[in-house]
Structure 1
Amino acid sequence: MKHLPLNRAFTLLEPGPVLLITTHDGTRSNIMTLTWSMVLDFSASFAITTGPWNYSYTALTKTKECVISLPTVDMIDTVVGIGTCSGEDTDKFDKFALTPLKAAHVRAPLIKECLANIECRLVDRIDRHNILILEGLEAYFDTSRKEQRTLHAVGDGTFIVDGRKIDRKEMMQSKLPEGL
C-alpha cells in the first residue's frame, strides 16, 4: 500500500449522495449543493454539515426548515454550478432553470427536476462540528423519472455514480429491525 496524506483520508469515506438543499429566508428561496450528509437511524432523521460560510446557513438556522432534494447524474453540471456560485447575488432557480414546487410543511420549495425531495425541520445543532440535525416531515419520490442514478462526491472535484444494484433483501430480512 502507498501512503495517503491524512488530510486526504476523508476522500475514502464518501458519506452519501450529493444533495441540493433549498431554503427560504422569508423573502426568497435559495439552493445550495451539499456533499456531506448522514442518515441517523431507521427513521427520517438526517445530519448535514454546513456553516456560517455558506449563504443558505443563515436562512436554514433562522427559519429552522429546508428541503433535501436528491439530484441525479444527468444534473451534474447543475449541481456543480449551484455549488460554485452564491445565492447572495444569484437566483439559482432562474440561473439553472429549476422549477420550485410548493412544499406542504415548510416555506422552502421542492425541486421538480430532482428524483426525490424531503421536507425537513431543524431540530438540533452540534456547533463544534458544524452539524445540523434535521427531522423529515414529508417525502416525495418521482417514479416516472427515467434517470435514477445518484452522484457521490469524492471531495476533490471528482464524483462516483451509482451503478448496478445487487439484491440481498431476502438474505437480510431476518436481520432488519421489526417493521422495516
Structure 2
Amino acid sequence: MSVVAITGVLLLLYAHRGKRRDDLNLKYFSQAEFGAYWPMMNIGLLKKLDAFRAALGYPVAISPAAGAIGRPIIGSDGQLGEAESSAEKSWHNYLLHGEIMAIDVMPVPPGGATPAERQRWVDVARQVGFTGIGVYPHWRPRPGLHLDVRTDRTPDNPATWAGVRNDQGKQVYVGIQQGVLA
C-alpha cells in the first residue's frame, strides 16, 4: 500500500478525533493553519503551542517547509537516505506515534531573532512544557524552532539541540547554545 493510500485511510480514521480538537478554543492558532494534519495533532502539543505564543507576546508562524507538521515516512528497508531515515523516527511521524507530536515554527519577534530573543524562545518553550526543543538559526525565511511533546523526556529534562550550518554550508547538529548564539 502506498504512503498516499495509507495517509488517506488515516485521515478518515482521525476525522472523529478532530472533533475533540475543535473544542480546544485555541486563542492564537486555527484549524486551517494545520490543514489536513489537524485531526492528527496531539492535543497537548496544540495547547503548549498556544501557551508558547501567548507567553512570547508576538506572532508565531508554522514553518512553510515540507514536513514542518507531519511526516508519513514508513517502512525503512535500509535503503533510505540520512534525511528520510531521520524523518522516519521523527516525532512529526504520525504513523510511528499515532499522532503528530512535533511542529516546526518560526516566531516573528518585532526586534528580530537576536541571540537574546532566541534564548527567550528556548526559555519559554521549557516553561510551557515542551519536552523536545531544537533551535535552527539558519532556516528560511527566518530562524525557527522544532517543538515537541516526546514521551521519553520530561519538561524538567527536555531533549535540546541546534541545527547550524558548518563551513561547507551543511546542517550539523550541536548543543542548543550554539544555535542560540549563532
- Which structure has more helix as a fraction of its residues? 2
- Which structure has more strand as a fraction of its residues? 1
What band does the TM-score fall into relative to the shorter chain? under 0.3
Q: TM-score when scaled to structure 2? A: 0.23
Which protein, 1 or 2, shows the higher relative CO under an 8 Å CA cutoff with sep ≥ 6? 1
Q: TM-score when scaled to structure 1? A: 0.23
